[in-house]
């Protein structure tokens, strides 16, 4: 069974490769430990909501978007690097587990597209 290399949690590109104990993304230069990718599989089982880098999130945290996100039902886009303050963790449908207020209104986001600020 071939080992698949995960997409970059920082920029979402799939042009990543393993190097020693880390994965590396040549597109944005982000490096992260291979053990974090393995721990990602256990995220649902431990009940802790984690950001794109594997850091645990809590109510009230500030986060930053790690990629552009199109807003469903709108022509608007939330831009990469946008800071969102005072998040609230929820048990949303389809993995949308972060409730927040943005410039475009209140919405649910997936924690995999956020990093702790």
Give pLDDT tens digits for 16-75.
888 888 888 888 888 877 776 555 554 445 678 888 888 899 999 999 999 999 988 889
What's the pLDDT score for residue 36? 60
Q: What confidence tens digit (pLDDT) does each residue in 4-19 have?
A: 778 877 777 888 888 8
* Domain boundary assignment for the chain: 1-41, 49-116
Yes or no: is domain 49-116 CATH 2.30.30.40? yes
Angle 50-56-59 from CA coordinates, rounded to 5°: 100
CA distance 42 to 17: 22
Fold of 1-41: N-terminal domain of TfIIb (2.20.25)
């Amino acid at each position: 069974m071939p080992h698949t290399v995960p997409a970059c949690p920082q920029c979402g590109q799939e042009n990543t490769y393993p190097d020693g104990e880390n994965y590396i993304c040549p597109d944005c230069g982000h490096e992260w430990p291979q053990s974090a990718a393995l721990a990602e599989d256990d995220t649902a089982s431990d009940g802790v909501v984690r950001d794109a880098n594997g850091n645990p999130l809590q109510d009230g945290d500030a986060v930053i978007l790690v990629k552009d996100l199109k807003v469903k039902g709108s022509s608007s886009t939330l831009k990469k690097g946008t800071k969102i303050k005072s998040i609230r963790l929820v048990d949303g449908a389809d993995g949308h587990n972060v409730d927040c207020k943005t410039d475009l209104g209140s919405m649910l986001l997936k924690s995999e597209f956020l990093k702790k600020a």
